[in-house]
Amino acid sequence: MCTNIVYEWLKTLQLPQYAESFVDNGYDDLEVCKQIGDPDLDAIGVAVPHHRRRIHEAVRRLKEADEAAAGLYFTLEPQP
């Protein structure tokens, strides 16, 4: 299997065994992973309660990082 961002994310969670199933179920980038809920984890095959909690916590952190970054932006304007 080729390495992608979801594999790397799951590896940091110490859950790389789910990477292929994530990708097979359409969770091939972190934007999509932010939408994961319990029915998705059922479809992916994550049955171990501790693994589910770890993934839910990681999804929450991804969403929080987005919210923190949402207020930051800049524009490039020509100098007078």
Whether 68 is in a domain gets the answer yes
Whether 22 is in a domain gets the answer yes
Confidence at residue 71, expressed as pLDDT on a 0 to 100 scale:
59
Average pLDDT, stretch 17-28? 94
CATH code (residue 19): 1.10.150.50
Tokens of 14: 């110490």
Rounded Cα gap, residues 73 and 71, in angstroms: 7
Whether 80 is in a domain gets the answer no
Dump pLDDT digits (tens) for 39-80.
999 999 999 999 999 999 999 999 888 776 665 555 567 767
Question: For the chain, how many structural domains are there in total?
Answer: 1
Q: Could you tell me the pTM of the whole model? A: 0.78
Structural domain span for residue 22: 5-72
The residue type found at 58 is A
How many C-beta atoms surround the C-beta of residue 25 within 10 A? 16
